[in-house]
Amino acid sequence: MFSLEGKVALVTGGSRGLGRADALALARAGADVIITDILLESDQPDSAEKYGPLAQLMKRRGVVYTEQTAEEITKLNRRSAVYKMDVTDREQIREVMAAVKDRFGHIDILVNNAAALDHVASIENQSDELWERDLKINLTGAYNCSKAVWPYMKEQQWGRIINMASVAGTLGGFGQASYSSTKAAVIGLTKSLALEGARYDITVNAIVPGIIGTEAWKSGNPKMNERMIARTAFRKPGEPDDIAHAIVFLATEEANYISGIELNVSGGIELFTF
């Protein structure tokens, strides 16, 4: 039970954090895993400049593990590859998907994980530019990748699409107008595609993480982070593997009758904690 042997998975935004944990967990469960991101380990340090302060910080700290993760997957006796893929670039997505199909034979699992998380400002101070960026990456990115992989999944009459939403999308988030709007919209996209995919045995589900202690989350405002933790029933952030294990389950054959759900992996942050 719960084996992904013979399946090929593609993870977007897989260079660090949850994407990296998802890739490793999918491989441990038996899948071959393709890691994609805008920023690769082999890129020059100044290549992060155009992607904003968070990307620059992560590159400076060496928190970009694309090739390393692929190597770890290979050591598990699974196939792996790394591709530069910007989820806002439709042409590049099409090329990468075609290359993966060519090299690996099929694409069975898509994890739409890539997102921008660092735009925090009250409505009057929201940057119009970052609002547009967040829509483009977090929402349109998931749409772009789902649309590109759809014909392959439809043809093989099997597929798993797993979208990363957030409790910011289901509960709202102070100062997170752009981020929470995109994450709420990802849930709408998930449900519509679940309806359309069922006839082809393509399931589409959303994971709703609470607070997960990734490098990106840790680089946020420490006081705000403390307040977030205090809201969880567990009084601690979740681990990246808590998300990854839920994704593995939704990707399995055994989850074949689950589609269109929002699966909270949130340590009870939405409970009446006091």
Ligand X SMILES: NC(=O)c1ccc[n+]([C@@H]2O[C@H](COP(=O)([O-])OP(=O)(O)OC[C@H]3O[C@@H](n4cnc5c(N)ncnc54)[C@H](O)[C@@H]3O)[C@@H](O)[C@H]2O)c1
**What is the DSSP secondary-structure string of 68-133?**
HHHHHHHHTT--EEEEE--TT-HHHHHHHHHHHHHHHS---EEEE--------B-GGG--HHHHHH
Q: Judged by CB, which is closer to ligand X: 39, or 158? A: 39
Binding residue for ligand X, selected from 111, 211, 244, 250, defined by CB under 6 A: 211
At its nearest, how many Å lie between ligand X and the CB of residue 272?
21
Exposed / middle / buried, residue 79 (Cβ in 10 Å: 0-12, 13-18, 19+):
middle
At its nearest, how many Å lie between ligand X and the CB of residue 224?
12
DSSP state of 24: H
d(CA 194, CA 200): 10
Cα 106–chain centre separation: 20
Question: Which residues, 121 to 180, sit near ligand X by CB under 6 A?
Answer: 137, 141, 164, 166
In single-letter form, the type of residue at position 124 comes to E
**12-21 burial string, b = 16+ CB within 10 Å, else e?**
bbbbbbbbbb
Q: Judged by CB, which is closer to ligand X: 13, or 197? A: 13
Q: H or E stretch including 215?
A: helix 215-218
Binding residue for ligand X, selected from 7, 8, 19, 41, defined by CB under 6 A: 19
Q: Is 179 a catalytic residue?
A: yes
Q: Judged by CB, which is closer to ligand X: 76, or 135? A: 135
Each residue 79-118 as x (binds ligand X by CB under 6 A) or -, in order, gives -------xxx------------------------xxxxx-
Residue nearest to ligand X (CB): 17
Q: Are 229 and 236 in contact (CB under 8 A)?
A: yes
Question: Which residues, 23 to 82, sit near ligand X by CB under 6 A?
Answer: 37-39, 55
3 state SS of 11 = strand
Q: Judged by CB, which is closer to ligand X: 158, or 168? A: 168
Catalytic residue from among 65, 83, 152, 179: 179
Q: Judged by CB, which is closer to ligand X: 61, or 103? A: 61
By CB under 6 A, name the binding residues for ligand X: 12-13, 15-19, 37-39, 55, 86-88, 113-117, 137, 141, 164, 166, 209, 211-212, 214-217
